Structure 1
Amino acid sequence: MSESPLLVRPPGTVWIAAGAAALAATVVALLLLPTTEPAAEHTAGDEELAAQVSELLPDDTAVGVSVAVIEGETTRQAALGTTDGSTPVEVATPFETGSIMKTVTATLLAEMVESGEVELETTLGEIWPETEFSDERAADITLEQIATHHSGIPRLAFADPYVLAQTATNEVLGGQAYAAFDSPIEDMAAMPLLDAPGASYAYSNLGYAVLGQSLEQVLGTDYATAVRQRVLEPVGMEHTTLRATDEAGLPPGAALPHAEPNVPTAAWRAPDYLPVGAGSWSTAGDLAAFLRASTEEDSPIAAAAALAREPREPAGESTETGLGWAASTTAEGNTMTWHNGASSGTRTFFGRSGDRGVVVMANSAAVPVEALGTRLIETEVEIFPELSSGSPISAALGTAGGALLFPLLSIAFALRGRARLSVLATDRLGLLGYLLASTTLWLIVLRIGNWGSTPLVIGALGAGLLAAAVVLSGWRWPSVPLTRGTRPWLRWITFLIPAALFALLLYTVIAVFTQLP
């Protein structure tokens, strides 16, 4: 018996139905997919500074940007773009801080040292005498070692494989990166150290969460209250917000985070990780005030800031670390003290060298804030990346290819005749499996693709092709068996794998969607 053709031709009515479904799905997708305008469309504040930022920004990277530049006694501010694709960013618009908050946490530690409430040499064993550490060396970790990232504490609490998987998935898809973590001290106590305390530099978010929780333990009050009273209020940071509970909402007018233009992500909230910068919001003006207060001798936090900023330990070839602060050598041979921050959809940077300082806050993870910041104050730091968004053409081609290729494969499978290999032959399990696999991969591309330089219509066309594949699969359904070949169990496996992946992705996407502001 001769084999049937590779492609089976459906009647014209089926093609018409498939085309109508494709058109309808494409239109609906275009209406639902988020869009943003170029950042330069909206500006506020210092016009000259806004123009400079606009010229420096790599194309197709920004949603909204807020900057402050310190020059001697003068601070200039400018804002560009939108908070959510439509609402203009103002100079007082709050952004997520990310890890910039670690410098505030370190300043609280330094202030407590200055007041005699704690010492830099105080150990975790002294603060948590009832805690049993799985690694006995952990009890000897000092607060100074945590604050300078020389504690040996792992970067995050990944002792549980489930927590690792959930955190990684949330990070990739733009959800709550810290949602699966429990009490920092309990998580840390259950884990082995990476190295002996004080032996080497290893940046640790878990370490700073433990530091914040330890300061709470010493003070007998919550971290947010202590920071407000002892750092934020004395400096005058009245626009800085700490989401100290799981129910806390966003500050008014917040710049909503985006992985890149047209790809919104969840705003982080994790009360136990506030000292790390998860759930803290501030403005460029507030952070500029903190930069000034951290270097001026007559500021209300002068002594604590001086203690915190003092370089203590190596953190790389040209960088040392103080309590939270990093100190790097500039191209001119000066020292810049700085910190950067990141969430799933925000990038921040601030730093000061001599009488010049800069703050850059962007609600798009695609913006190279470090390079932008140093360019604004006309200096260079070797460890910072170039002021470039990479290759937008290759990124766009990859995104477009992924968005269209996978739906096209479903259409090809629906039209396929009998193949030599039973695992490739068209049957009902195959039709469903290919649809689920293609939809899963299309959703992943939609989430992580480069939609700053790729027209959103490409993603919408992918939705249209998937709709056409559904129609063609429905037409093919009555004419094919449940399984083909002599090994039906193999066909069930090739179906269940994409089905499980689709279910997992759908669950995660729904979870991420419900976390969006």
Structure 2
Amino acid sequence: MNTATASESSNTPRPHSAPDESGTQRTWVAVLTAGIVGVLLLLITPFPRGFQGETTGDAALVSQVENALDSGHWHHVAAAKINGDDVTWGGVGADENSEFEIGSITKTVTAALYADAIERGEIDERTNLGEVWPELDGEVAEVTLASIATQRSGLPAQEPALSFGDGLATFLSRYIHTDPYRGTATDLADSLRNVDVGPQEPEYSNFAFGILGQALATVTDSSYGDLVRERITEPLGMTDTYVPRTAEGLSHGYTASGLRAAPWTLGGTAPSGAIRSTAHDMSIWLRATVDGSAPGSRAAQPREDFDESDRIGWAWFTTKDRSPNLTWHNGGTGGYRSFLGFDPKTSQGIIVLSDSAISVDDAADVISTSNASSLGTQRPSQVHDDQAGGNS
């Protein structure tokens, strides 16, 4: 757009010695505008800072966690360190009973339900989606639950949009920090009729794990939330762990830039990342998985190579480049991050739950260190922190 004044657009030449006053004014206006915009951005964007609030529990553990994670737009954190039967808790602005979204650590529970269903004789490792939903045909009907559990099903990484409007709402949710998952369990199963099955190679899929959980619910004539309660949390005494039906009960987490992010329930995709829990209950889950007393605990045993750094069991990853190697999973939603890992040989473990969308994977360093190799120093890969991109 031409912003020149009438006098500026005339053909009368200016003396070379005269200053370009209008140009100088435009420069100062631009500088002033940039300064105002910069100040406004500073006012609405939180500064990097350390964890907020009072230290709770074991101060030495809190120090270890803080040193491992460094600083960022942190808010509150709760941690648990396991050493055999001994558990140490610590936190900042939170304690072992504070509730968090655990994100994709939910997948370890879904995998345990899968292993438990096999042990009960309800399914076997050859069971495919066509046996669960007979109306399916073609390649998708041949996809086995076992291939889903080892993240090599060929199913899409994310849930297909129900409609153009739904896809637009999901896209916008990334910018207004709300739950991007809108479909019900029925919607999720119905979407299988229109998906393309890709190569059955290692590829992390939230959609597939949503399907796995809903398949188990269908086979057992139950709901995913009821299965979690009846087969996992009640037998283990995990009284503060559940699959939410609504967003109520948890106020919000924070984005990586420190803005508020709404809770996620994930709808039909809940089996991939919706569970809410505490550091206390996650310590029960970790210890029971390590000692084999958890239903479906054999899900943690590595079965296949996943990538250069990890092997995979049913959902659980096991590193190949740390000392000692850890069996682990992480998670993330719009405003939360989590990490859980343990050394199967020593029964040492670490759990970190945070209400900020900044990776806490480096919590692994509390009990295990990266090994240098020809590929460089490795650590648990953030690629599995899937819900950061709209489900981690």
TM-score by length of 1: 0.61
1:490 is aligned to none
1:474-517 C-alpha deviation (Å, 9 max, x unpaired): xxxxxxxxxxxxxxxxxxxxxxxxxxxxxxxxxxxxxxxxxxxx
1:216-268 C-alpha deviation (Å, 9 max, x unpaired): 11111111111111011112211112113xx45125xx6x3111363111111
Is 2:122 the counterpart of 1:117? Answer: yes
2:214 maps to a residue whose letter is Q
1:26-72 C-alpha deviation (Å, 9 max, x unpaired): 99x96x98899741642101121122223333223311111111112
SS in structure 2 of the partner of residue 139 of structure 1: helix
Let me know the Cα RMSD of the aligned residues.
Answer: 3.0
1:363-382 C-alpha deviation (Å, 9 max, x unpaired): 1112x3111x2121143372
2:90 is aligned to 78
1:237 is aligned to 238
Task: Spell out the pairing of 1:8-47 with structure 2 (5 A cutoff).
Answer: 38-39=50-51, 41-47=53-59
8 Å Cα contact 2:81-2:89 kept in structure 1: yes
8 Å Cα contact 1:188-1:206 kept in structure 2: no
TM-score by length of 2: 0.80
Alpha-carbon offset, residue 156 of structure 1: 0.9
Task: Spell out the pairing of 1:23-422 with structure 2 (5 A cutoff).
Answer: 38-39=50-51, 41-80=53-92, 88-131=93-136, 133=137, 136-158=138-160, 162-179=165-182, 183-195=187-199, 199-244=200-245, 247=246, 249-251=248-250, 256-260=252-256, 262-278=258-274, 280-297=275-292, 299-301=293-295, 304-306=296-298, 308-332=299-323, 334-353=324-343, 354=345, 355-366=347-358, 368-371=359-362, 373-380=363-370, 382-384=378-380
2:258 maps to a residue whose letter is N
8 Å Cα contact 1:166-1:180 kept in structure 2: no
Q: 1:55 to 1:41 in 2, by over 3 A?
A: farther
Name the CA distance, whole Å, in 1 between partners of 2:148 and 2:328: 18
8 Å Cα contact 1:171-1:177 kept in structure 2: yes
> Alignment length, in residue pairs?
347
1:345-403 C-alpha deviation (Å, 9 max, x unpaired): 1111101113211101111112x3111x21211433724369xxxxxxxxxxxxxxxxx
SS in structure 2 of the partner of residue 349 of structure 1: strand
1:119-163 C-alpha deviation (Å, 9 max, x unpaired): 1211111110123x5xx1110111111111111000113465554
Name the CA distance, whole Å, in 2 between partners of 1:59 and 1:33: 16
SS in structure 2 of the partner of residue 48 of structure 1: helix
Name the CA distance, whole Å, in 2 between partners of 1:70 and 1:294: 12
8 Å Cα contact 2:331-2:339 kept in structure 1: yes
| Displaced runs of 4 or more, over 6 A | 32-37
Name the CA distance, whole Å, in 1 between partners of 2:262 and 2:72: 21
1:497 is aligned to none
Bigger radius of gyration, 1 or 2? 1
Structure 2 unaligned blocks of 5 or more: 1-5, 10-20, 372-377, 383-392
Name the CA distance, whole Å, in 1 between partners of 2:202 and 2:279: 29
SS in structure 2 of the partner of residue 116 of structure 1: coil
1:265-317 C-alpha deviation (Å, 9 max, x unpaired): 11112331221113x211112111111111214x252xx212x1122222101
Structure 1 unaligned blocks of 5 or more: 10-14, 81-87, 387-517
Name the CA distance, whole Å, in 2 between partners of 1:295 and 1:228: 20
Name the CA distance, whole Å, in 1 between partners of 2:224 and 2:232: 11
